[in-house]
Amino acid sequence: MASANVVNLTDETFESEIQKAEVPVVVDFWAEWCGPCRHFAPVFDQFATENAGKVIAAKVDVDSNQNVAAKYNIRQIPTLLWFKGGNFLGQTSAMSKDGLLKKLESL
């Protein structure tokens, strides 16, 4: 459920990928059965494609990766986590492509 410009993260790869990123990272926590997640996926994929090189767009399947979801207290999906320089900057809900871009530019 991801495009070529979206990285799939797991419990095992999450921290290392966030820490080594040289650009901001936005992580979409989702599940296959989640209707709003499926609705948001094309928006997130398009944002990732249009901003390749400026941001790392990643996804975490909460059903397969419950440890990282629990660590960041993910209670509803889709939920986005934002990171820069390896630091957690905050959490937002799914939003429009323009909203994603504005959030990215504010980091």
Residues identified as active-site: 34, 37
Task: Read off the tokens for 24.
Answer: 């901001």
Alpha-carbon distance of 104 to 31, in angstroms, equals 23
Task: Read off the tokens for 41.
Answer: 């996926």
How far, in Å, are 4, 20, 77, 89, 96 from residue 92 at the CA level?
Answer: 23, 22, 10, 10, 12
Alpha-carbon distance of 101 to 26, in angstroms, equals 11
